[in-house]
């Protein structure tokens, strides 16, 4: 059975978007994962299919109505028993552990907000997990949904050519990845570190681990603090590689 995705959005034409290309696109064609979009506007009210209204208590912007959003959720999840996620800056920050959890399950249902957000009552009435892809604000949840789906789909069995690629993931061991090099061995007077040309696997692994630790300590002190708190992580294995963020 394919990994099933349901997306509730005001802009269904934004999907699959970039996920229709490259490895994710091929996996979609091959049925590794499936996609159904649900137009929130189809559940809108009145002649203009209104999906939002002014916020109680005043303030700028509009808020997505709970009755409209709830109807869309009911439709999208009627035949799916999958986690329901709302992409919002108010959510907990998405991490790789979440991605692995979603990818190992049967699928996911994503609610893409717009305007100022969704009425809080529907989020209380439904088992919604609120997640954010970063500490910044987007125009809508669609872009965040694409980010989350991309991260999950690449972990599905058969999507990436090598099973080892899915094992050696960025953040899987709490560190940023080590520097990467390829041919030519010297470019514009800059040489590849000699250890990478040595063929000595233990030395290469130790070098990569040290480079990852140094990069994490400098660039992501928050990650380094968590990593340093658990000495068992320092097992001499090569640091995680692959992937982008």
**Is there a domain that residue 80 lies in?**
yes
Whether residue 149 sits in one domain with residue 35: yes
As given in the structure block, the two tokens for residue 174 are 């709490």
pLDDT at position 242? 52
Q: How does pLDDT run across 92-128, given as a tens digit for each residue?
A: 999 999 999 999 999 999 999 999 999 999 999 999 9
Same domain, 212 and 110: no
The tens digit of pLDDT for each residue in 74-86 reads 999 999 999 999 9
Sign, CA dihedral 130-134-170-151, equals positive
Cβ proximity of 92 and 100 under 8 Å: no
> Among residues 90, 122, 153, which one ends one of the domains?
153
Point out the domain boundary residue: 108, 123, 153.
153
Distance of alpha carbon 30 from alpha carbon 16, whole angstroms? 14
Q: Establish if 134 belongs to a structural domain.
A: yes
Shared domain for 11 and 94, answered yes or no, is yes
Q: Are residues 189 and 92 in the same domain?
A: no
- Calculated CA dihedral for residues 135, 120, 68, 13, nearest 10 degrees: 10
- Do 27 and 58 fall into the same domain? yes
* 158 located within any domain: no
Do 34 and 81 lie in one domain? The reply is yes
Domain range spanning residue 71? 3-153
Domain count, the chain: 2
Q: Do 26 and 70 belong together in one domain?
A: yes
Q: Report residue 173's pLDDT band, with 50, 70 and 90 as the boundaries.
A: confident
CATH of the domain at 200: 1.10.1270.20
- 237 pLDDT higher than 70: no
C-alpha distances in angstroms, 177 versus 65, 156, 168, 207?
43, 21, 10, 12
Tokens of 133: 């892809």
Tens of pLDDT, residues 32-72? 999 999 999 999 999 999 999 999 999 999 999 999 999 99
For residue 241, the model assigns a pLDDT of: 42
Question: Are both 30 and 130 inside the same structural domain?
Answer: yes
Is residue 223 included in any domain, yes or no? Answer: yes
List alpha helices for 104-153, DSSP H.
120-125, 141-153
9 and 125, same domain (yes or no): yes
Q: Are 45 and 123 contained in the same domain? A: yes
Evaluate whether residue 167 is within a structural domain. Answer: no
Note whether 135 and 23 are same-domain residues.
Answer: yes
For residues 200 and 127, membership in a common domain is answered with no
Inside any domain, residue 207: yes
Q: Residue 159 domain-assigned?
A: no
Are 240 and 211 in contact by the 8 Å Cβ rule? The answer is no
- pLDDT tier at 143, thresholds 50, 70, 90: very high
Instruction: State pLDDT tens for residues 15-37.
Output: 999 999 999 999 999 999 999 99
CA distance linking residue 229 with residue 144, whole number of Å: 31
Does residue 61 contact residue 116 with C-beta atoms inside 8 Å? yes
* 76: in domain: yes
- DSSP string spanning 71-139? HHHHHHTTT----EEEEEEEEEEP-HHHHHHHHTSSEEEEEE--TT-B-HHHHHHTTEEEEESSSS--S
What's the pLDDT at 150?
98
Burial label for 79, CB within 10 Å (0-12, 13-18, 19+), is exposed
Q: Domain holding 40: CATH number? A: 3.40.1280.10
Q: What's the predicted TM-score (pTM) here?
A: 0.88
């Amino acid at each position: 059975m394919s990994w099933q995705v349901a997306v509730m959005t005001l802009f269904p034409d934004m999907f699959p978007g970039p996920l229709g290309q490259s490895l994710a696109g091929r996996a979609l064609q091959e049925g590794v994962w499936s996609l159904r979009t649900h137009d929130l506007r189809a559940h809108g009210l009145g002649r203009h299919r209104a999906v939002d209204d002014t916020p109680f208590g005043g303030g700028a912007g509009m808020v997505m109505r709970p009755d409209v959003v709830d109807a869309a959720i009911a439709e999208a999840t009627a035949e799916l028993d999958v986690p329901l996620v709302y992409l919002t800056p108010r959510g907990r920050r998405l991490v790789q552990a979440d991605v692995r959890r979603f990818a190992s399950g049967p699928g996911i249902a994503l609610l893409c907000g717009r305007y100022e957000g969704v009425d809080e009552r529907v989020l209380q009435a439904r088992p919604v997990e609120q997640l954010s892809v970063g500490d910044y604000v987007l125009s809508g949840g669609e872009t965040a949904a694409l980010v989350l789906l991309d991260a999950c789909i690449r972990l599905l069995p058969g999507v990436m050519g090598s099973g080892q690629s899915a094992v050696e993931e960025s953040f899987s061991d709490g560190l940023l990845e080590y520097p990467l090099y390829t041919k030519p061995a010297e470019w514009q007077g800059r040489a590849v570190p000699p250890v990478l040309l040595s063929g000595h696997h233990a030395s290469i692994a130790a070098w990569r681990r040290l480079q990852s630790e140094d990069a994490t300590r400098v660039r992501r002190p928050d990650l380094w603090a968590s990593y340093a708190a658990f000495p068992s992580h320092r097992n001499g294995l090569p640091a995680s590689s692959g992937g982008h963020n």
